[in-house]
Amino acid sequence: MKSLEGKIAIITGGSGGIGSTICERLAQDGAKVVVHYGGHQDAADHVVTTIKDKGGEAVPIQANLSKVEDVVSLFDQTQQHFGTPDIVVNNAGTGVGGPIAETEEDAFDKVFGLNRKGTFFSMREAARRLNKNGRIVNISSGLVVRPKAGFSLYVGSKAAVELMGKVLAMELGERGITVNTVSPGPTETEMFAHSGDDPTAAAAQSPFNRLGKPEDIADVIAFVVSDQCRWITGHTFQAGGGYV
């Protein structure tokens, strides 16, 4: 029997670079997967097709996670399609770089609207609905412990996510639910490509002298959502190849 057989998993941002790989990895372990997407239905459909071609089960569901009613709808649709979720990976995220002195209100609202508000209300819905012994994983960033100029909104929103997750871990322990954070370092995705970071310099920050691959992160998530990780909660896993 596969390790996640019978489990239902919601992966937010399942249409993105890291999220799509997490979807495929958890499906490989036997989970039925909700491939959430924001705007890129084609990307989400591709992930669903890949999973089904390998004999797995998956469905694409759209939601603008900056809107609370969309977050609630994502969980409602999951319930209707597969049943009560066991695993929620809050992976969807965005970053708008630039010095604080040049930052406008719309950038603040965009980054905090998704990374902090969206993740918070997804955690709220997960807290209300998740099965006993469930798993909540929030995706942060190694930049929280190794901040850089120009990333104030991104780092600030991710730091909030890490701390909110620690609080939720204390609130959900009696149901056997764990709440953990996984923090990637620089990882080869569209987001990294648009970050303006120099890939060679970013790779050199790891003792392995390479960028992370989405598979490196997905393998860590697969462990964190497994039964093997039942005794770890409120923890942040640095998945940056020694970046921090």
Ligand X SMILES: NC(=O)c1ccc[n+]([C@@H]2O[C@H](COP(=O)([O-])OP(=O)(O)OC[C@H]3O[C@@H](n4cnc5c(N)ncnc54)[C@H](OP(=O)(O)O)[C@@H]3O)[C@@H](O)[C@H]2O)c1
Interface contacts to ligand X, rule CB under 6 A: 13, 15-19, 37-40, 43, 63-66, 91-94, 114, 139, 141, 184, 186-187, 189-192
Q: Per residue in 36-64, is it b (16+ CB within 10 Å) or e — as a string? A: bbbebeebbeebbebbeeeebebbbbbbb
Q: Pairing relation of β-strands 178-184 and 236-239?
A: parallel
Residues 6 or more apart from 39 whose CB is under 8 A from it? none
Closest distance between ligand X and the C-beta of residue 192, in Å?
4
Closest distance between ligand X and the C-beta of residue 44, in Å?
6
Q: Is 225 within 8 Å of 9 (Cβ atoms)?
A: yes
Taking the least distance from each CB to ligand X, the nearer of 110 and 166 is 110
CA distances from residue 213 to 56, 76, 165, 233 in whole angstroms, order as listed = 23, 32, 25, 25
Q: Is 82 within 8 Å of 10 (Cβ atoms)?
A: no
Torsion of CA 107, 110, 115, 120, to 10 degrees: 130
Closest distance between ligand X and the C-beta of residue 132, in Å?
27
154 belongs to the catalytic site? yes
Residues 6 or more apart from 174 whose CB is under 8 A from it? none
Greatest Cα pair distance, the chain, in angstroms, is 55
Closest distance between ligand X and the C-beta of residue 21, in Å?
8
Of 75, 121, 151, 154, catalytic: 154
Taking the least distance from each CB to ligand X, the nearer of 131 and 219 is 219
Taking the least distance from each CB to ligand X, the nearer of 96 and 176 is 96
Taking the least distance from each CB to ligand X, the nearer of 31 and 114 is 114
Active site residues: 154
